[in-house]
Structure 1
Amino acid sequence: MTGPRRRLDRSQLRPKNGAVRFYLQNMVTSLTQAQIMIALVVAAHAGVLAVRLCFSLYKA
């Protein structure tokens, strides 16, 4: 679980050089190897479907 959220004041958002900083709080997650493999299989399947669709549209 995540801890309590801190509120940021405007001085933390605008450093002295004028650039805007973005803070990502509580965004750290860990992925298991199984989840990564599932994501790769899903992405490969989507790629195959896209190639098949392009080929069928080319033939039509």
Structure 2
Amino acid sequence: MPYLDHGHINPMINLYKILALNSNNILITFVVTEEWLGFIGSDPKPKNICFASIPNVIPSALF
């Protein structure tokens, strides 16, 4: 699993939001750590994007 940080997550979320808004026929699931789900889970998103989490298995992004 690559080390995920703001530089990786935010552009991917923006790309998938564009894809989801242009097509109702796809369902996009982001699998992130529990820590990241706390950061982005409440952000507004299209209804065909959902989030799933795995346990925090990498060091925290917060220093």
Scaled by the length of structure 2, the TM-score of the pair is 0.33
Larger of the two Rg values belongs to structure: 1
Scaled by the length of structure 1, the TM-score of the pair is 0.35
Report the structure, 1 or 2, having the larger strand content. 2
